[in-house]
Amino acid sequence: MRFLYSLTILLFLLNGPAWGSDNKNCPETLSFTVNKLAKKTAIDLCESYAGKVLLIVNTASKCGLTSQYDNLEALHRKYKSQGFAVLGFPSNDFGHQEPGNEQQIQKFCRSTYGIKFPMFSKTNVRRDNADPLFRTLGDLANEYPQWNFHKYIIDRDGKLIASVKSRVDPLDDQIVSAIEKAL
């Protein structure tokens, strides 16, 4: 029994935590495994989203920018069939504006804004405590979220092509143009 426990610890240390993808050809922007919002379902971002254009955004339910959910969903619906997805990551890092648990966040997003784009577990995005995904995006962009609804745009090759400040609406020409060019 002691041997199996030691072996398990050794394998964990060698393979690292669940954040890394096993796919060696995966771009660094997608080399993560994350859980779906309010579920224990693990999603390998590389396996699920490689080859797609992505808008990755940190969200919050009690923010003055929360109405951006409408336009994030509109973008997702408009371009989904062309290989695009919005990926939402709730965070309570700014002004404690995402205080609820994951079930509450999911219910709010669905009932208030009709969100159908993929949402993932509540996480940290600030430079000082960013999860591995947002640390990678922040380092590549040389810009971490300074508030809720910061947006990163990833092209089909997994390359970060834009980092967009929170106050820029998802339907702003800066974002739409970057998405359309990448598609």
Q: What is the mean pLDDT of the chain?
A: 90
Range of the domain at 102: 2-182
Question: Mean pLDDT throughout 135-159?
Answer: 97
Please say if the pLDDT value at position 148 is more than 70: yes
* Beta carbons of 82 and 123 less than 8 angstroms apart: no
| CATH code, domain with 101 | 3.40.30.10
pLDDT of residue 27: 95
* Beta carbons of 169 and 150 less than 8 angstroms apart: no
Give residue 23's pLDDT band: very low, low, confident or very high (50, 70, 90): low
Whole-number percent of the chain with pLDDT over 90: 86
Overall number of domains in the chain: 1
DSSP one-letter string for the chain: -HHHHHHHHHHHHHH-STTB-S-TTS-TTT-BEEEBTTS--EEEHHHHHTTSEEEEEEE-TTSTTTTHHHHHHHHHHHHGGGTEEEEEEEB-TTTT---S-HHHHHHHHHHHH---S-BB--B--SGGG--HHHHHHHHHHT---SSTT-EEEE-TTS-EEEEE-TTS-TTSHHHHHHHHHH-
Does 109 qualify as catalytic in the annotation?
no
The span from the first CA to the last CA of the chain, in angstroms, equals: 53
Report how far residue 53's alpha carbon sits from residue 86's, in angstroms, rounded to the nearest whole number. 9
Stated pTM of the model: 0.87
- Annotated catalytic residue, options 26, 46, 63, 109: 63
